[in-house]
Structure 1
């Protein structure tokens, strides 16, 4: 089967549309990886290019004093009648490109690919990483595969993830922790409730503590991170006439990146110390991921902030910047598109944001 061609020198808006028109749902990125690899090999100069599974990596080795990593995932969530792409012009939204991945994050990929082909003499050495399986469980994430198998490719002075940020820098990211609180009791017929021990009732005080919790706000490098502690799931009960003998509630803690995962769990245990003290309620971590400090004081990152007109804010969600931060590399999110539109059936990006991010990065990478 012939591989479709991709013109990396085309306007990044057109390049975005071409990438969207290549379906690449997670675990099915083979075709788009083939197309990206072929285009990079044919249309860029001075890049070492490596294919690893469905990850495509390219880097220069020009002896520049700094190295910038540009990383973007190739996969999307499942398509819902939103491929191929289409472009509309309305009074409400202006010139907009629609389609699965326009926001998350084929527009960011298009910007990176275009710059790799058109930047004649960048001030930094560049590493481009296009990876698979970001939208599914972390165990399949292509960046994790690269970190394990090709760790040298993740060395750099600053990393830029093309995640959607509406064209302004979102620095670092928050950590996330999920804790399951479980209470047990004794099952009995509800007509003889005194013979049982109702597990659900034991979580009443925990839910009250949760509803009264006052989350912290913390400023790091001029970025305000807002923490949150929320119940996200609850399960209990056997039947309408049975006293339940077990119940659990899942609590998600989104914590600022000045806390480690261990410190985040210690804080959760402190908040619910009274509920846990009697031993009738237990706590178990079911999922955890570290946050990432913004690192904007790093000279390479500071220059990027300048190129973006000084516009930056904290990243509230979790992204793969955390992987780079764990390696000691300052990392930011910067890409076209409103993140609140990611994964939606009506996913769409204003085309002016694609142009804007391209110019911001062109100036930064050129050392302007």
Structure 2
């Protein structure tokens, strides 16, 4: 890898404000990486709900692959200054530097260097909606028949291996009562109090951990009532719940929206109902798979531990895992994901690229 040439390309990609509300910039980011890969490869374009994505491979048209390298090129919103990359020592600051444009470009370089010479089919999957759920990128491509035997998601990991990520459920609690004058609360039925007591039961069952823990958590994202008067008893109230759960949670892992609705309803007072908007299953890949062993060995060749990481956020690996296809996250190092000081560690880029190339070639033998 010519690091300075790579960084120049990476900084150009980082200037693209590829947020969900800018579809033309999403397309520009995907096109940039396709152009970076260059000629000599098949490119299949996809679009769903206006979201562009691409699939690159070498040889005749196909949608089944031994390995898929998956990269998302969308980012969360940021101030304009965060789309002006800057280097400070070993850090390259910009929105998307850690999550995950630099890893995406390193995957594209590894694909360019190896895809034509490997004895198995390799794909580079470029998507642009992971930050808003991934259903129109990775999810859509899988619905169109794209598949693989093993998938490397380019999320940041500092050359460790993420084989486990939590599942996700978004739920709303709706409470009803009846209104009345606030001076006479015994004459009304306060919906907000019902909701608060229900939320209290849930958070007692799923308390906020004192430190990082591999357990189910509930974030109460919003509590609101349409009531706008001090002296009125609220007749309605609603709460939003963001629930994250590991494979080990036997109440939630493997449950569909109906089963999760029933589970949450057991915590509800009379007058409080549950609506589950959507559910994403946890992601898990067997730690003993030979591909994972090869990937860990390749990371160790570069002086990194290749340890197993457990991620609390959901990622596009869940779409593959739900179909029984093993997927892991493996990327460069950095810090500040989604924050004002997001950066990538420059010193991890070349080792990451070398480890990825080594892994792809190891599979050939």
* TM-score class, shorter: 0.7 to 0.9
The structure 2 residue matched to 1:198, chosen from 181, 185, 190, is 190
Deviations 1:138-169 (A, max 9, x none): 55x322332334x2xx3211101111223311
SS of the residue 1:189 aligns to: coil
Instruction: Give the whole-Å Cα distance in 2 for the aligned partners of 1:156 and 1:274.
Output: 41
1:275 corresponding residue in structure 2: 268
SS of the residue 2:55 aligns to: strand
Instruction: Give the whole-Å Cα distance in 2 for the aligned partners of 1:247 and 1:292.
Output: 33
Instruction: Give the whole-Å Cα distance in 2 for the aligned partners of 1:243 and 1:314.
Output: 45
- Give me the CA root mean square deviation: 3.1
1:25 corresponding residue in structure 2: 19
Instruction: Give the whole-Å Cα distance in 2 for the aligned partners of 1:290 and 1:251.
Output: 16
Deviation at residue 179 of structure 1 after TM alignment: 2.0
8 Å Cα contact 1:216/1:227 also seen in 2 = no
SS of the residue 1:156 aligns to: strand
1:56 corresponding residue in structure 2: 54
2:241 corresponding residue in structure 1: 251
SS of the residue 2:99 aligns to: coil
2:32 corresponding residue in structure 1: 35
SS of the residue 2:13 aligns to: helix
Distance 1:297 1:123, change over 3 A: farther
1:326 corresponding residue in structure 2: 322
8 Å Cα contact 1:8/1:15 also seen in 2 = no
SS of the residue 2:239 aligns to: strand
Deviation at residue 361 of structure 1 after TM alignment: 0.8
8 Å Cα contact 2:65/2:147 also seen in 1 = no
Instruction: Give the whole-Å Cα distance in 2 for the aligned partners of 1:274 and 1:144.
Output: 33
Taking structure 2 as the reference length, the TM-score comes to 0.82
SS of the residue 2:351 aligns to: helix
Taking the TM superposition and a 5 Å limit, the aligned residue runs for 1:1-368 are 11-26=5-20, 27=23, 28-42=25-39, 45=40, 47-53=41-47, 54-61=52-59, 67-80=66-79, 81-89=81-89, 95-119=90-114, 121-122=117-118, 124-136=120-132, 138-139=134-135, 141-149=136-144, 151=145, 154-214=146-206, 225-236=214-225, 237-258=227-248, 259-260=252-253, 262=255, 266=259, 269-270=262-263, 273=266, 275-276=268-269, 279-309=270-300, 310-338=306-334, 341-367=336-362
SS of the residue 1:327 aligns to: coil
Instruction: Give the whole-Å Cα distance in 2 for the aligned partners of 1:361 and 1:72.
Output: 14
Distance 1:60 1:8, change over 3 A: farther
Instruction: Give the whole-Å Cα distance in 2 for the aligned partners of 1:248 and 1:170.
Output: 35
SS of the residue 2:325 aligns to: coil
Which is further off, 342-351 or 254-263?
Answer: 254-263
1:220 corresponding residue in structure 2: none
Deviation at residue 124 of structure 1 after TM alignment: 4.4
Which is further off, 175-184 or 114-123?
Answer: 114-123
Distance 1:106 1:200, change over 3 A: same
SS of the residue 2:284 aligns to: coil
Deviations 1:170-205 (A, max 9, x none): 113211112222221110011232321111222343
- The answer for unaligned runs of 5 or more in structure 1 is 1-6, 90-94, 218-223
Distance 1:199 1:97, change over 3 A: same
Q: How many residues align?
A: 340
